[in-house]
Amino acid sequence: MEIQDLKHKFVNKISLSKNNQLLEEMYRLLTNDDSDMDILELNQEQTKMIENAREQYRNGQFLSQKQADEEIDEWLGK
């Protein structure tokens, strides 16, 4: 999609929206600069969970997007 088309669609969606919460969040994202971003600090449990996930990935213990979609469809009974 061309940038002008994307801008036009974006402005149109904003103009039609009545969702104040959504508009405030969009404004926050558009006006956000790095100076007001907090650094997220993980606790020991969160750090351990991330390391476990990385280890699983290194060991090939993950699903492809297609496999995950198939499992979700099966779980939902589709």
Q: Is position 38 within any domain?
A: no
Q: Is position 24 within any domain?
A: yes
Q: What is the pTM of this model?
A: 0.44
Q: Is position 51 within any domain?
A: yes
Q: Is position 39 within any domain?
A: no
Residue 35 has pLDDT above 70, yes or no: no
17-26 residue pLDDT tens: 999 999 999 8
Q: Is position 68 within any domain?
A: yes
- Are 70 and 50 in the same domain? yes
Count of structural domains within the chain: 2
Q: Is position 7 within any domain?
A: yes
Q: Looking at residue 32, what is its pLDDT? A: 76
Q: What are phi and psi of 74, to 5 degrees?
A: -65, -45
- Are 48 and 29 in the same domain? no
Q: Containing domain of residue 63, as a range? A: 44-76
22 by DSSP, 3-state: which?
helix
What is the four-CA torsion angle of 24, 27, 31, 34, rounded to 10 degrees? 50
